[in-house]
């Protein structure tokens, strides 16, 4: 995968006596390579930017498919717990057409992370994405804090169903066994993430010596506060735009996570 043109250093500053580097993609590669080379316990914390190269729109960016398209309710309303219970049919219409991407495939970022897990360098992936692409890439230590479109269960008897069942259903998907409503195991607005997933994610972050935060603007709680558990040496941020974590990071890469990690794979 090509690396973007050298765009020059945007800024350099010091933070608490420590040199913080804000670099473009091409400038950053040698630094990032050094960080990875000394890492023994890497944890990756990712958001929507990890999946955009796989054709999955960014949830909250101006270009995202989730933005308001019609005079109907905002996506944040439709994808809320209250709306799901009050208007399940409208919820599923929206869910099927905007959140399911059956043809999406892992990209170079997912592939690099799989390699790192195989080498036992990567200890865990904490993701805000619900697309399941890290698991599809082969990673096993994945903490999907907002759930996954691939896990669906009958609300009455607990029978589990694949994404295809939801995709092929019309109206409200029903359990073949008991007729109950099949619900995706994704965290809706107004719902708390699974506490055991969160505990696992925070435990991985607290044990890491390097944490890469990528493809997320860190505006979503509780995910953003997970970073407070990191006490390791190297915090790396890879994102197109500034994030609240930048000031704590030793290395900030302004760019696309798929291009950056893809370039690492090529070496
Ligand atoms: Zn059932």
**In this structure, are 227 and 245 located in the same domain?**
yes
Q: Has residue 2 been placed in a domain?
A: no
Q: pTM of the entire structure?
A: 0.89
CATH of the domain at 81: 3.30.1600.10
Whether 232 and 264 map to the same domain: the answer is yes
Token output for 52: 């955009």
Is 119 part of any domain?
A: yes
Pair (170, 85) in one structural domain: yes
Determine, yes or no, domain membership for 4.
no
The Cα–Cα gap between 72 and 86 comes to 15
Which among 136, 167, 186 is the end of a domain? 186
The verdict on 46 and 69 lying in the same domain is no
Calculate how far, in angstroms, residue 88's C-alpha sits from the geometric centre of ligand 1.
17
Residues 241 and 223 in one domain: yes
Domain annotation covers residue 215: yes
151 CA distance to ligand 1 middle (Å): 14
Does 67 fall in a domain? yes
Q: For the chain, how long is the longest CA-to-CA vector?
A: 63
Cα–Cα distance for residue pair 251/234, rounded to 1 Å: 8
Q: Which residues contact 84 (CB under 8 A, 6 or more apart)?
A: 91, 183, 188
Same domain, 264 and 214: yes
CATH number of the domain enclosing 250: 3.40.50.1220
Residues 6 or more apart whose Cβ sits within 8 Å of residue 203: none
Residues 94 and 202 in one domain: no
What is the whole-number distance in angstroms between the Cα of residue 168 and the centre of ligand 1?
A: 17
Residues 14 and 129 in one domain: yes
Answer whether the bond into residue 222 is a cis peptide, omega within 30°: yes
Which pLDDT value is given to residue 221? 74
Which pLDDT score, from 0 to 100, does residue 17 have? 42
Answer yes or no: is 180 within a domain. Answer: yes
Question: Which residue from 247, 187, 249, 241 is spatially nearest to 213, judged by alpha carbons?
Answer: 249
Query: Residue 260: which of 54, 107, 82, 120 has the closest Cα?
Result: 107
210 in Cβ contact with 232 (< 8 Å): yes
**Same domain as 197, residue 180:** no
Are 261 and 156 found together in one domain?
no
Last residue of a domain, one of 163, 186, 209: 186
- Do residue 109 and residue 120 come from a single domain? yes
Look at residue 1 and tell me if it is in a domain.
no
Please answer whether residues 205 and 211 qualify as being in contact, where contact means their C-beta atoms are separated by less than 8 angstroms.
yes
Q: Could you give the number of structural domains in the chain?
A: 2
C-alpha 190 – ligand 1 centre gap (Å): 24
Quote the ligand 1 centre to 172 CA distance (angstroms): 13
Per-residue b or e along 125-159, where b marks 16 or more CB atoms closer than 10 Å to that residue's CB: bbbbbbbbbbbebebeebbbbbbbbbbbbbeeeee
Instruction: Please tell me the distance from the alpha carbon of residue 80 to that of residue 67, in angstroms, as a whole number.
Output: 15
Residues in the chain with pLDDT values less than 70: 1-19, 59-71, 267
Which residue bears the tokens 């992936």?
125
Report helix angle 257-265 to 25-38, nearest 10. 60
| Domain membership flag for residue 68 | yes
> Which residue range forms the structural domain that includes residue 75?
57-100+151-186
Catalytic residue numbers read 146
pLDDT in tens, 151-196: 999 999 999 999 999 999 999 999 999 999 999 999 999 999 999 9
CA of 154 to the centre of ligand 1 (A): 5
Structure token digits, residue 74: 């905002």
What pLDDT, on the 0 to 100 scale, is given for residue 95? 95
Q: Within this chain, do residues 140 and 253 fall inside the same structural domain, yes or no?
A: yes
For 2-20, the pLDDT digits (tens) are 333 333 343 444 344 456 7
């Amino acid at each position: 995968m090509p690396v973007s043109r050298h765009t020059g250093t945007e800024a350099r500053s010091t933070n608490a006596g420590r040199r913080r580097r804000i670099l473009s993609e091409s400038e950053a590669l040698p630094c990032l390579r050094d960080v990875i080379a000394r890492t023994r316990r890497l944890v990756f914390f990712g958001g929507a930017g990890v999946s955009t190269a796989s054709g999955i729109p960014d949830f909250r960016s101006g270009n995202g498919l989730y933005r308001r398209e019609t005079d109907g309710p905002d996506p944040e309303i439709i994808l809320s717990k209250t709306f799901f219970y009050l208007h399940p049919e409208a919820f599923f219409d929206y869910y099927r057409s905007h959140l399911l991407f059956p043809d999406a495939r892992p990209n170079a970022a997912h592939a690099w992370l799989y390699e790192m897990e195989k080498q036992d360098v990567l200890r865990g992936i904490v993701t805000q994405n619900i697309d399941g692409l890290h698991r599809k890439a082969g990673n096993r230590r994945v903490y999907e804090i907002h759930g996954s479109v691939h896990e669906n269960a009958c609300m009455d008897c607990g029978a589990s169903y694949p994404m295809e069942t939801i995709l092929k259903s019309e109206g409200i998907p029903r359990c073949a066994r008991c007729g109950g409503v099949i619900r995706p195991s994704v965290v809706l607005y107004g719902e708390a993430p699974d506490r055991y997933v969160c505990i696992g994610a925070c435990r991985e972050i607290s044990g890491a010596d390097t944490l890469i935060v990528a493809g997320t603007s860190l505006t979503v709680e509780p995910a953003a506060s997970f970073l407070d558990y990191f006490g390791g040496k190297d915090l790396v941020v890879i994102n197109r735009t500034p994030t609240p974590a930048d000031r704590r990071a030793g290395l900030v890469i302004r760019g696309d996570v798929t291009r950056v990690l893809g370039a690492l794979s090529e070496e």
